[in-house]
Structure 1
Amino acid sequence: MKTWKAWGAQLLFGWMNLVLAVPSIYLMLGMPLVMRQHGWSGTEIGLFQLAALPAIFKLLLAMPVQRVRLGGGHFVHWLWLMAVLLLALYVGIGRENLIDQRAMLFALTFAISIVATWMDIPLNALAVQYLPREEQLRAGSIRSAALFLGAIVGAGVMVLVQARWGWQAPFALMGLGLVIGCLPFAFLRSKAGLQAAETEHAQPGFVADWVSFFGQEGAKQWTSLLLTSFPFIGAVWFYLKPLMLDQGMPLEEVAWTVGIAGGITGAVFSLLGGRLASFLGAARAIPIYLLAALLSLILLTVSVWAQLGPFWLVTSAMLIAASMGAVSALLFGLTMFFTRRQRNASDYGLQSTIFTLARMAVPIAAGIVLDRFGQVVMLSVLTLGVLFAFVLAWRVRHSVGASTEVLLRSQ
């Protein structure tokens, strides 16, 4: 693949990952500020987060994408179908201000969550199908950077847009971004159609499909990393804003530090982490990145325990953002490595479900520990979780690294 063509494809997939991240982040993380201003209770805001549940069912949503053929450009047509549905939902939710219509707002948000989750499957199946194996670590780093930028846009910029130009403006911008991203996929239809035709022959049942995924060399070890490498450091990031507020930092300073500077740092180190991993190889990169996450979390824990003050809190927050960006870039890239070209959608859906379940479960458990035992104990428990992930990564690094080398040679 020519360099300019590869970069064009990478930017296209990165843009679409950004476009799909923004609505969920805006509705889940940005909208609660508006809700609170309009008298929503804490319980109502908390229950509203259940609209994110479709993310854990990506495994099931992948089934029809893998098996129901929509013409020659199979995955592109699935992408466009989901895009049309998402645009229709933007029109529905943006037609009038629904902030006081709780049930309707939840229903439309839930529907947007389903369609955006569903659309993510053909999008990343196309990335696996179209990009050479040697480009997939870079694709993972670009996707990770897009998610960090999506957090800034969705939880920050879109809230400001809504405050300045009204309820409809964010959804109009999100719809425009979606249309701009979908049009270039017309040029990928021929390749998508060819790959689909090559794998059209009889496919095994769903359970056999999933079992065969774990039959890949190194897949069981990779799954253990997928379950442990991100959730603990991700949970720290989830609680970092309230933790820094409790340490006495002003709200505006916390917003700039974690929301803006942290997001930019995570995006930059996502790109750097993917680049560095291509030189180090997966066997070296996995434990190095997790060791960096472990050291940054130890620094945060000590800073909170010893009351070291804002400088060390901010420093540890930036280090956590950097290590989290590098870890997530590597995980997204390796997810593509372990997605078989004949099972693009189903393998990606299975891995995404495994990742999402762990990512959602750990913050819930951490919240319980925080309420019962306080910040230092919670941070200590999460530090032990990252330590466990590091030890596990050290033990399985050669198996996972050898598997990625095999996949690269088979390209």
Structure 2
Amino acid sequence: MTKTRLWGLQLLFGWMNLVLAVPSIYLMFGMPLVMRQHGWTGTEIGLFQLAALPVIFKFTLAMPVQHVRLGGGHFVHWLWLLGLLLLALYVGIGRQNLIEHRLPLFALTFAISIATTWMDIPLNALAVQWLPRVEQLRAGSIRSAALFVGAVVGGGAMLIVQARWGWQAPFVIMAMGLLVGCLPFAALRDKASLQTQTEPGEQLGFVADWVSFFGQPGAKQWTWLLLTSFPFIGAVWLYLKPLMLDQGMPLEQVAWTVGIAGGVTGALSSLIGGRLVRVLGAARAIPAYLLAALCALVLLTVTVWAQLGPVWLTASVLIVAASMGAVSALMFGLTMFFTRRQRNASDYGLQSTLFTVTRIAVPVAAGVMLDRLGQVGMLTGLSFGVLCAFLLAWWVRHSVGTTAEAMLTAD
């Protein structure tokens, strides 16, 4: 495969990851600002976040994608089918302004969450199928960068679009982006049916797929790493805006620092971090990236504890963003490595569910620490969590790294 074609595929998968990230970020993280302006209570806004629950059940959504055949272009046809569903939901939610209609808005947001979560499965199964293993590290870094860019677009730009051009405008833009991304997949249909056939006598179902996944060399160690590496630093990012406001930083400066500068820093770090993995090797990169995350959180904790002022606080936030981008790029890349080509959808869905469970649970615990122990107590607790993840990474680095290197050489 030529370099031009590989870059074309990387851009296509990156664009689609961005397209699928923006609606969830816009509805779940951007829309609460509008809700508050229209009199929604804190409880109502909090309950609205339950619309994100479908992502926890991605492993169940992966099963039909893996085993229900839709013709020769298996995963491409699944992608298009779910894309049509998402377009229909954009039409439904954009027909009229629903900000005053709480139940319909929640129902449609919940449905969009299901569609984007489900559509992510055939998309990344195709990435595993088409990209050589060495390119999957780059794909992981591009996906991580796309999520940071999606946070800027969905959490900022789309709110400006809605304020200037009305309720429908963001959904029109998102629908156009989806169409532009889906059409080129027609060129990938010829290979979409390869490497997905079930061997004669092979068992199907949740348990059989799970047992075979954990039977891979290094898979059990990788699972523990997947569960612990990102959630603690991700929880810090979630609480950074209120933390900076409590430190006396003006709202507009917080928005620029975290929303814009932090997003750009995270995206650039994702791209650089993915490239450095190929230089360092997975066995070195895993503990190195988590050590960087630990140092970033310790610096932020000391800055808040010692009241070092806005300059140090801004620098600490950007360093946290950089370390988070590198860690997320590594996690996404290794997730593709442990997704077998003959179990593309089910392996990816299982890993995504495991990743999401701790990513949701840790911020809840962090919120409790914030209420009871204050900012420094919460940051100290999350730093301890990253320390534990670093020690685990040091312990499993050879088993996970050796498996990753073996996949690279075997491709």
Number of paired residues? 410
Give the distance between the partners of 1:301 and 1:366, measured in 2 at CA.
14
- Other-structure match for 1:331: 331
State the shift of 1:199 in Å.
4.3
Give the distance between the partners of 2:322 and 2:238, measured in 1 at CA.
15
Give the distance between the partners of 1:281 and 1:2, measured in 2 at CA.
24
Match runs of 1:236-251 below 5 Å = 236-251=236-251
State the shift of 1:35 in Å.
0.4
State the shift of 1:103 in Å.
0.2
Give the distance between the partners of 1:336 and 1:150, measured in 2 at CA.
21
Match runs of 1:149-188 below 5 Å = 149-188=149-188
- Other-structure match for 1:361: 361
Query: What residue identity is the alignment partner of 1:338?
Result: F
Give the distance between the partners of 1:316 and 1:28, measured in 2 at CA.
26
- Other-structure match for 2:215: 215
| Deviation string, structure 1 residues 228-252 (Cα, Å, up to 9, x no partner) | 0000000000000000000000000
- Other-structure match for 1:110: 110
Give the distance between the partners of 1:193 and 1:55, measured in 2 at CA.
26
Q: State the secondary structure of the residue aligned to 1:100.
A: coil
Q: State the secondary structure of the residue aligned to 1:126.
A: helix
- Other-structure match for 1:65: 65
Q: State the secondary structure of the residue aligned to 2:253.
A: helix
Structure 2 unaligned segments of length 5 or more: list them. none
| Deviation string, structure 1 residues 353-380 (Cα, Å, up to 9, x no partner) | 0000010000000001111111100000
- Other-structure match for 2:275: 275
Query: What residue identity is the alignment partner of 1:42?
Result: G
Give the distance between the partners of 1:231 and 1:388, measured in 2 at CA.
12
Does residue 312 in structure 1 map to residue 300 in structure 2?
Answer: no
Q: Normalised by the size of structure 2, how large is the TM-score?
A: 0.99
Match runs of 1:51-90 below 5 Å = 51-90=51-90
Query: What residue identity is the alignment partner of 1:49?
Result: Q
State the shift of 1:61 in Å.
0.4
Give the superposed CA RMSD: 0.8
Give the distance between the partners of 1:338 and 1:66, measured in 2 at CA.
16
| Deviation string, structure 1 residues 249-304 (Cα, Å, up to 9, x no partner) | 00000000000000000000000000000111110001111111100100000011
- Other-structure match for 2:204: 205
Give the distance between the partners of 1:336 and 1:194, measured in 2 at CA.
17
- Other-structure match for 1:47: 47
Give the distance between the partners of 1:230 and 1:290, measured in 2 at CA.
9
Does residue 131 in structure 1 map to residue 134 in structure 2?
Answer: no
Give the distance between the partners of 1:161 and 1:203, measured in 2 at CA.
51
The alignment-based identity, stated in percent, is: 77
State the shift of 1:134 in Å.
0.8
Query: What residue identity is the alignment partner of 1:264?
Result: V
State the shift of 1:201 in Å.
4.6
Q: State the secondary structure of the residue aligned to 1:374.
A: helix
State the shift of 1:200 in Å.
6.4
Q: State the secondary structure of the residue aligned to 2:406.
A: helix
Q: Normalised by the size of structure 1, how large is the TM-score?
A: 0.99
State the shift of 1:202 in Å.
5.0
Structure 1 unaligned segments of length 5 or more: list them. none
- Other-structure match for 2:286: 286
